[in-house]
C-alpha cells in the first residue's frame, strides 16, 4: 500500500466531502416536520399528540436503524447503503404528499423516512471517520456531524417560507428532489475503504496498519450485518462506559431533536411568534452549530472528551432552564443569546462521544456508536411525544423545558464520572 502522505490530496478528504453533502441532503427531511406541524393541524384537525406520534416514530426508527446501518456498511460498503438510503428518503417524502389519515403519516414520515434517515445518521459520520482516518478523527467527525445537524436546521427558514407560500406538500417534493440530487455524487465519488484503493488511512503508518489488520484477523466480525450488530451490542453492554454514553446520549437526543427540533417552532408560535421567524431562529442555531461542532472536534483531539461532554450537558441545561422566560412574540437580545449558545452546543456532544467509542471499542467503535446513537433517538422519540402530550394537557411547554434541564444535569454528572479507557477492544 502507498503511504497517504504520497498524495497531495488524500482520497479520505474527497470521501469526507461527499459524505458531508450526503448528510446535508439526508437532513432535509429532518427539518420538515417541525414547520409542517401547524399546517397539518389546521388542514386535518389532528392534535399535537397525533402529529408528535408520527414524528416520534420517525425519530425512534432513525435511531434504531443506526447500528444495523453501520453493520450493513461494514458488509456491503458505504456507497451502496448510503445511495439506497437517499432513495428511500426521497420516496417517503414524495409519498407523504398523498397522506389523508394519521396511519399514512406514520408510514411515510414515520417508517420510510425514519429508516432512510437512520441509515444516513451520525453513524455514517462515525463509519467514514474510522474507516478513512487515523489522524484528525475529532475534526472530521465534528465537520460531518455538523453537516447532518446543520443541514436540518438551516433548511428550516427556507421550508417555513415555502410552506406559507406553496403549502406543505410542495416542501415534501423539494425534500424528495434534494435527496435524489445527491445520489449520483455518492455513486460516483464515494469509496468504501482505503484498502480497495491500495492506500492507508489518512495519517496511518504501515506499522499501525499491520497491527490493525492483525487484530482484525484474530477477532473477525460476523459477516451477517444483523448478527454483527447484535454481537457488538452484547459485548458493549458488559462495559460501564457504554451505558454511561448511552444514557447521556439519550438525554442529548431528548433535548435536541426531540424537544427543540420538534417543538421549538410550535412553542414559539404559542407565544405569538410567526412560524417563519421561529424557523429563522432555528436556522441561526444551525449556523452556530457548524462552529460549535467543528470546534468540539478540534478540542476532542486535545482535551479529555469526558470533561467536554460534562461541560456541554451542563451548559445546555442552564440554557433550557431559562427558555420559558425568554420566549415571546418577538426576537430580543436574550433570546438571540440563547439561540447562539444552543447552536454552539447542539451537536458538540458527538465528536467526544465518537472518540470515546473508538478509544474503548476500537474497530467495533462505529457499530457501538450506532447503538449509542440509537439511545439518542429513543430519548428524542420519547421527548417528542411527551412534549406534545404536555402541551395538549397543560396548554404550554414549560414543564417540558424544566424537565429537560434537569435531565441535562444528570447527563453532565454521568459523563464526568466516565473513567479513562483501557486499551481498545479490537
Which residue(s) pair with 133 in the sheet? 202
Work out the number of other CB atoms within 10 angstroms of the CB of residue 159: 27
Give me 234's grid cell: 452484547
Cell numbers linked to 30: 429532518
Does residue 423 belong to any structural domain of this protein?
Answer: no
Is 196 contained in some domain?
no
66: in domain: yes
CATH of the domain at 105: 1.20.1250.20
Please name every residue paired with 202 in a beta bridge, in sequence order, or none if there are none. Answer: 133
Q: Answer for the pair 145, 350: CB distance below 8 angstroms, yes or no.
A: yes
* 396 part of a folded domain: yes
For residue 384, give its domain range: 8-188+223-416
Give 265-288 as a DSSP string: HHHHHHTT--HHHHHHHHHHHHHH
- Measured CA to CA, the distance from residue 275 to residue 256 in angstroms comes to 19
Give the separation between CA 294 and CA 16, rounded to whole angstroms: 14
426 within some domain: no
Does residue 338 belong to any structural domain of this protein?
A: yes
For residue 112, being part of any structural domain is answered with: yes
CA atoms lying within 13 Å on the CB side of residue 107: 12
Sequence-ordered alpha helix ranges (H) in 191-326:
206-218, 225-236, 240-253, 262-270, 275-300, 305-326
For 199, phi and psi rounded to 5 degrees?
Answer: -130, 175
Dist. CA 271–CA 134, nearest whole Å: 48
| pLDDT at position 425 | 42
The pLDDT, as a whole number, for residue 104 is 92
262-270 and 275-300 helices cross at what angle (nearest 10)?
A: 140
End-to-end alpha-carbon separation of the chain, Å?
22
The pTM score is: 0.72
- What pLDDT does residue 244 have? 96
For residues 413 and 256, give the distance between their C-alpha atoms in angstroms, rounded to a whole number. 19
Phi, psi of 423 (to 5 degrees): -60, 145
pLDDT of residue 216: 63
Taking the C-alpha atoms of residue 281 and residue 285, their distance in angstroms, rounded to an integer, is 6
In whole angstroms, give the CA distance from residue 78 to residue 324.
Answer: 42
pLDDT at 6: 47
255 secondary structure, DSSP code? I
Helix-helix angle 350-361:365-394, to 10 degrees: 140
Residue 335 pLDDT = 95
Instruction: Classify residue 342 as left (phi > 0), alpha (psi -120 to 50) or beta.
Output: alpha
State residue 372's pLDDT score. 92
- Chunk the chain into consecutive blocks of 10 residues (it has 426) and report each block's average pLDDT, rounded to whole numbers: 59 89 73 76 85 82 80 85 90 90 89 85 80 84 76 73 87 86 87 84 82 67 69 91 96 92 89 88 84 89 93 96 94 94 91 90 84 88 90 93 97 90 43
Q: How many domains does the chain have?
A: 1
Residue 132 falls within a domain, yes or no? yes
Amino acid at each position: 500500500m502507498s503511504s497517504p502522505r504520497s498524495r497531495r490530496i488524500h482520497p479520505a478528504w474527497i470521501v469526507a466531502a461527499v459524505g458531508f453533502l450526503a448528510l446535508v441532503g439526508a437532513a432535509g427531511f429532518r427539518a420538515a416536520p417541525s414547520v409542517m406541524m401547524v399546517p397539518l393541524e389546521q388542514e386535518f384537525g389532528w392534535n399535537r399528540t397525533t402529529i408528535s406520534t408520527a414524528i416520534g416514530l420517525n425519530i425512534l426508527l432513525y435511531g434504531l436503524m443506526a447500528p444495523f446501518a453501520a453493520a450493513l456498511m461494514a458488509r456491503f460498503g458505504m456507497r451502496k447503503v448510503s445511495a439506497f438510503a437517499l432513495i428511500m428518503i426521497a420516496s417517503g417524502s414524495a409519498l407523504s404528499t398523498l397522506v389523508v389519515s394519521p396511519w399514512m403519516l406514520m408510514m411515510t414520515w414515520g417508517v420510510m423516512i425514519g429508516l432512510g434517515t437512520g441509515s444516513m445518521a451520525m453513524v455514517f459520520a462515525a463509519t467514514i471517520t474510522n474507516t478513512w482516518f487515523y489522524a484528525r478523527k475529532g475534526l472530521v467527525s465534528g465537520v460531518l456531524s455538523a453537516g447532518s445537524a446543520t443541514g436540518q436546521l438551516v433548511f428550516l427558514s427556507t421550508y417555513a417560507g415555502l410552506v406559507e407560500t406553496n403549502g406543505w406538500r410542495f416542501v415534501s417534493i423539494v425534500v424528495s428532489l434534494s435527496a435524489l440530487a445527491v445520489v449520483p455524487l455518492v455513486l460516483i465519488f464515494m469509496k468504501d475503504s482505503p484498502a480497495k484503493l491500495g492506500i492507508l488511512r489518512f495519517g496511518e503508518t504501515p506499522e499501525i496498519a499491520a497491527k490493525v489488520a492483525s487484530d482484525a484477523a484474530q477477532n473477525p466480525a460476523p459477516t451477517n450485518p444483523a448478527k454483527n450488530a447484535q454481537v457488538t451490542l452484547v459485548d458493549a453492554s458488559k462495559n460501564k462506559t457504554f451505558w454511561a454514553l448511552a444514557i447521556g446520549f439519550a438525554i442529548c437526543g431528548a433535548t435536541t431533536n426531540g424537544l427543540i427540533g420538534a417543538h421549538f417552532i410550535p412553542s414559539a408560535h404559542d407565544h405569538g411568534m410567526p412560524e417563519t421567524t421561529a424557523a429563522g431562529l432555528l436556522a441561526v442555531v444551525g449556523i452556530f452549530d457548524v462552529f460549535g461542532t467543528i470546534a468540539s472536534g478540534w478540542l476532542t483531539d486535545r482535551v479529555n472528551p469526558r470533561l467536554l461532554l460534562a461541560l456541554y450537558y451542563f451548559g445546555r441545561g442552564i440554557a433550557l432552564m431559562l427558555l420559558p422566560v425568554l420566549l415571546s412574540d418577538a426576537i430580543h437580545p436574550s433570546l438571540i443569546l440563547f439561540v447562539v449558545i444552543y447552536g454552539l452546543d447542539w451537536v458538540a456532544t458527538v465528536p467526544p462521544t465518537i472518540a470515546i467509542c473508538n478509544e474503548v471499542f476500537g474497530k467495533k467503535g462505529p457499530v457501538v456508536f450506532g447503538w449509542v446513537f440509537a439511545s439518542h433517538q429513543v430519548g428524542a422519540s420519547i421527548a417528542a411525544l411527551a412534549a406534545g402530550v404536555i402541551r395538549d394537557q397543560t396548554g404550554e411547554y414549560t414543564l417540558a423545558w424544566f424537565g429537560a434541564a434537569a435531565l441535562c444535569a444528570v447527563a453532565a454528572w454521568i459523563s464526568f464520572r466516565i473513567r479513562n479507557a483501557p486499551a481498545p477492544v479490537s
